[in-house]
Structure 1
Amino acid sequence: MTTSVPAGTSGALTGATGILTGDQYRASLDDGREVWLSGKRVDNVATHPAFSGVVDEFARLLDLRHDPEHVELSTFVSPETGNRVSQAYSMPTTPEELRAKFAASEWWMRESLGQLGRSPDFMSNVVVGLRDYAPELAAVREEFGKNAVAYHRYASEHDLVLTHALGDPQIDRSADPRKDDTLSLHIVEENADGVVVRGAKQLATLAPFSHEVLVYLNGVTAARGAEKFVLWFALPMNAPGLRILCREPYSLDAEGHTHPLGRRFDEQDAMLFFDDVLIPWDRLFLLGDSMTAIKGLVRINAWSLQSTHIRFLQRLRVFVSVAKMVAHSIGVDTFRGIQEQLGELISYAETLELGIIGAEAAAERTPGGLLAPRVSYGLGFWSAGVSARVAEILRQIGSSGLIMQPSEADLTSELRPTLETYMRGHDIGVDEKSRLFRIAWDLVGSGFGSRQELYEYLHRGEPGAGRTRLWRSYDSSAVDAQIRDLISRP
């Protein structure tokens, strides 16, 4: 199925059916988009062997929402059309609506084992933030606010799977982008139809599997006062002139050594190249206003940040279970040091869980009138910091066993009797033990695992810069006054 690029989104609900089925999602990816992998253009993302496992996983998740067991939890009825739409697009105004929104997030993350950083739940919540920020966008230009409202309606009713692209290419980060247009995406022309942009953006996680990309300012460029680079817009992935370059996939099996997580959850990362791409006027949300962009970066992520916390909590729980089972499989779970390490893993999961509960309980009313969780960037940067330690604990517990496990092909070969003798575990057969350790390897040792760990460290923003922003914005005035009072007298 090939679909044309929509001319705009204002009121464009013709043909909208709400939540997609898995088959509808697969068909929607065959839309003429220009995806490149290993020097070749991909004919159809849904059927390519490097991508099909992930597409199948997304199709499974989308189909589950139609199941009577999950439909009420994961969706709600659109008051405008009567369609079932994803809870991730809901705009909560009461604590009950906020709870329903994040109960759906918890469902998404349980089903995907916390492995999909760009599950549809994440970016759909960004679009809710964009919709909530519409009055501030309208203050810059009335049409921008209207476009944000219309885009939320369009994305929710058409059940769009979205990616975003914020970073500039790593060419020379010491250079001033105002003097070298090649470092940042920028406008080369304005005309009656919209603006024409040229340049590149990274790192668009989920790009080949998405329907559209949402591009908005990265804060570094804005802080430098480079107004010409302030661009907020949405664009279909099959837009003329947009090329998608994918990294090496981690989903392919090698000689029967299966990657049980990578095969299902390698959500891909991509560079986006914009070769004089037209952005229609009704797909633009902001141009040329750095301060509105900088303030908006916090506002539009009010709900997606909580979604990220919920996903990382599920990922931590997976680590706890895998580490506990690995320790038991080799009989080391009775050792005091191993028990301390397992307890440390659990302490991280419990801390994050309490932070998530607290952020929701302390929800605040936004200027746009919605109810949003308490801003919790500190919790996010804490998560980025502990992620490496979590992986290190599992590596230490699994030790060399993470490296040497028989493949599925080995298990059905004439070596089977030998494997049962020398490669079984404590109260666990060689089949289950080898599969358990391959899951552990995919978490901490494979290319997929290494990518996941780097993603955890960086995707909330560079932690050092983030902590600096926290220091600059944190209000310690009340306690500062107490300390000054104490030191002002003997």
Structure 2
Amino acid sequence: MTLPDATATPRGLLTGDRYREELADGRELYLDGKRVTDPVTHPAFRPAVDELARLLDLQHDPAHHELLTYKDPDSGRRIARGYQPPRTIEELRLQRRSAEFWHAESLGQHGRSPAFMASIALGVYDFRHQLERAHAGFGANAEAWYRHCADNDLVLSHALGDPQIDRSADPVDDPDLALRVLAENDEGIVVRGAKQLTTLAPLAHEVLVYLSASFTQRRGEQFVVWFALPLDTPGLITLCREPLGDAPWGHAHPLGARFDEQDAMLFFDDVTVPWDRVFLLRDGVLARTGLARINAWSAYIGHVRYRERLRTLLATATLVAESIGVDQFRNIQEDLGRLAGYAELTELFLDAAEARAQVTDSGLLAPGDTAASRVWSAEVAGSAIDILRAIGASGLLMQPTANDLANPRLRPHLDRYMRGRGIDAEHKSRLFRLAWELTGDGFGQRQHLYEYVHRGDLARNRINLFKRYDQSETRERLLRLLEPATATASGPGSDSDSDSDSDSAREARP
């Protein structure tokens, strides 16, 4: 993918085939010590690429076209719904419904879905006026980048976290601890460093680089920068983690093979970022303000995805309970009810975000604050997994493989001793392997860790929630209650003047 050309004709909505074509761009991509020349055909990436391509093709299906896309009033082009700037509650709810469709198709497993990342590009667009006031031209850059992404339906990633080298040290003392700006010249800025855990980077067109909430006031301004680049930019190296879905899709790994988004380290080897791709530079105060603003819609869409994940866990747990005849046990129903409550609460959080929606300074309608619900989601993520794990118990560990089931010597014993209630051994094996994939194997553990960390440090989020919560009215009532009673001679037989004086005294208290 090349940098945007103002004269180029936008390519419009992605198709699966065009996505594959554009992904084979020659980027410097490494897996297990070897360079990957084409992620589209590489066996570690191909199933995930095919799944994303299938979902992108649904935008062109007449049955879903109106929900998943909208007609841009300025250009007349069809654009993916996630990029739509909502100005009314109806448009905001359409964005939610579109994301619900996408995440239902992926069973809540795509944390960095195109629908999610489009909402962050939308947040950058919304914040453009403040970026422009801070530095002439940066707001215009942000708007041009958003238009480029929306008009070409780009699949995006974002990079926030610094490498885990020595979190007790300050980057000012050891510059390799954080991505930094080395120089500025006529072409742009030169950056060196790394960004950790860039989910979907191997399968995305571009990456948006900005700062996590963990950067501190002590950090030098050379570490404060927002920009976006194509992932085939010279000097940008992408290192993938070990794949989690490399087994053939089917009996053993129905989720991992299709939905492993891949996480990556990005190394910036003195990369030149053109000036028209820089959005914020050397302004820590603005970066802290902007972090919440540009993620207003993504936090909302993230809840849509988490609700679908909880529904997947609930349905799987119910099927597992039914398959071994424990679904009528009181304790099992109580656990399933708790999991159902989690899913329902997530729905209510989404409704509350819409009810509290506010118009931003750029005229868009942003969902209400979701800070408390994000903390709650991280807190219950482990409990949701534990419920499914407890119901499946030891059965999650011992299930026959496809080759076991095909063995004529083994099959009679499998049919006799490894069947379920009303289901044969093969169906039960597929179901329990799905449950294991959600709770125990590498893919499941990665998804669980993602739930815990992707919303940011849980302790910091709790502290910030405490500091932001308005207790003033309740504190005032309690402090009035704790004040000593006003000394007065008034009693049951006191005259009206005394009563009046007492009332005046009460009214005069703060």
Cα distance in 2 for partners of 1:211, 1:471 equals 38
- 1:70 to partner: Cα distance: 0.4
Query: In the alignment, what sits opposite 2:162?
Result: 168
Letter in 2 for 1:413: N
User: Is residue 133 of structure 1 aligned with residue 148 of structure 2?
Assistant: no
1:465 to 454, 460, 465: 460
Deviation string, structure 1 residues 81-110 (Cα, Å, up to 9, x no partner)? 322111100101111111111111111111
How far apart are 1:377 and its partner, in Å? 1.2
The 8 Å contact of residues 13 and 157 in structure 1, kept in 2 or not, is answered as: no
The reply to whether residue 483 of structure 1 matches residue 478 of structure 2 is yes
Aligned residues between the structures: 484
Deviation at residue 255 of structure 1 after TM alignment:
12
Tell me the secondary structure at the aligned position of residue 195 of structure 1.
strand
Q: Is the 8 A contact 2:170 2:219 kept in 1?
A: no
Report SS of the residue matched to 2:267: strand
Query: Per the alignment, in what secondary structure is the counterpart of residue 223 of structure 1?
Result: coil
Query: Is 1:45 aligned with 2:39?
Result: yes
Counterparts of 1:41 and 1:80 in 2: how far apart (Å)? 42
Q: Secondary structure of the residue that 2:158 maps to in structure 1?
A: strand
Map 1:288-303 onto structure 2 (within 5 A).
288-303=282-297
Task: Determine if contact 1:222/1:229 at 8 Å carries over to the other structure.
Answer: no
Matches of 1:473 and 1:249, distance apart in 2: 40
Task: Find the counterpart in structure 2 of residue 437 from structure 1.
Answer: 432
TM-score, with structure 1 as normaliser: 0.97
Q: Is the 8 A contact 1:246 1:270 kept in 2?
A: yes
Q: Is the partner of 2:214 in helix, strand or coil?
A: helix
Q: What's the offset of the Cα at 1:337?
A: 1.0
Query: Quick one: structure 1 residues 266 and 13, their matched pair in 2 at CA, closer, same or farther if it must change by over 3 Å?
Result: farther
Return the letter of the residue paired with 1:173: R
Task: Supply the distance in 2 between the matched residues of 1:31 and 1:322 (Cα, whole angstroms).
Answer: 39
Between 449-458 and 413-422, report the one with greater CA deviation. Answer: 413-422
| Post-superposition CA distance 1:312-366 (Å, at most 9, x none) | 0000000110000000100111211111111110111111111111111221111
* Alpha-carbon distance between aligned partners in 2 of 1:196 and 1:455, rounded to the nearest angstrom: 31
* Residue number among 87, 108, 115 corresponding to 1:114 in the alignment: 108
Task: Supply the RMSD in Å over aligned alpha carbons.
Answer: 1.3
User: Are residue 344 (structure 1) and residue 338 (structure 2) matched?
Assistant: yes
1:424 match: 419
Map of 1:361 onto structure 2: 355
What does residue 174 of structure 2 align with? 180
After superposition, the Cα gap between the structure-2 partners of 1:75 and 1:256, relative to the gap in structure 1 and judged at 3 Å, is closer
Q: Distance in 1 between matches of 2:169 and 2:187?
A: 33
Query: Is 1:413 aligned with 2:407?
Result: yes
Secondary structure at the residue paired with 1:479? helix
Query: C-alpha separation between the residues in 2 aligned to 1:334 and 1:396?
Result: 15
- Aligned counterparts of 2:138 and 2:419: Cα–Cα separation in 1: 62
Most deviating of 191-200 and 223-232? 223-232
How far 1:429 moved relative to its partner? Answer: 1.5
Please give the secondary structure, in 2, of the residue aligned with 1:199: strand
Tell me how far 1:222 sits from its aligned partner: 4.2
Residue 146 of structure 1, CA deviation: 0.4
Counterpart of 1:383 in structure 2 is: 377
The amino acid of 1:327's aligned partner reads A
- Range 280-289 or range 425-434, more displaced: 425-434
Correspondence for 1:267 = 261
- Per the alignment, residue 334 of structure 1 pairs with 328
- 1:27 equivalent in alignment to 2:21: yes
Partner of 1:304: 298
Query: How far has the Cα of 1:17 moved from its partner?
Result: 2.3
SS of 2:191's partner is: strand
Q: How many percent identity over aligned positions?
A: 53
Q: Which runs of 5+ in 2 are unaligned?
A: 486-510
User: Helix, strand or coil: the match of 1:481?
Assistant: helix
Shift of 1:203: 1.3
Identify unmatched segments of 5+ residues in structure 1. Answer: none
Letter in 2 for 1:436: L
SS of the residue corresponding to residue 56 of structure 2 reads helix
Q: Is this contact kept in 2: 1:126–1:300, CA < 8 A?
A: yes
Residue in structure 2 matching 1:404, options 393, 398, 403: 398
Point out the more displaced range, 349-358 or 321-330.
349-358
Displacement of 1:78: 2.0
Q: In the TM superposition, what are the counterparts of 1:172-321 in structure 2 within 5 Å?
A: 172-253=166-247, 258-321=252-315
With normalisation by structure 2, the TM-score equals 0.93
| Paired amino acid for 2:118 | S
Instruction: Report the CA distance between 1:428 and its aligned residue.
Output: 1.2
Measure, in 1, the Cα distance between the counterparts of 2:220 and 2:176.
13
Bigger radius of gyration among the two: 2
Structure 1 segments, 4+ long, off by >3 Å, are 254-257
* Cα displacement string for residues 205-255 of structure 1 (whole angstroms, at most 9, x for unaligned residues): 001000000001223324324211111000000000000000010011189
Query: Which residues of 2 match residues 69-88 of structure 1 at below 5 A?
Result: 69-88=63-82
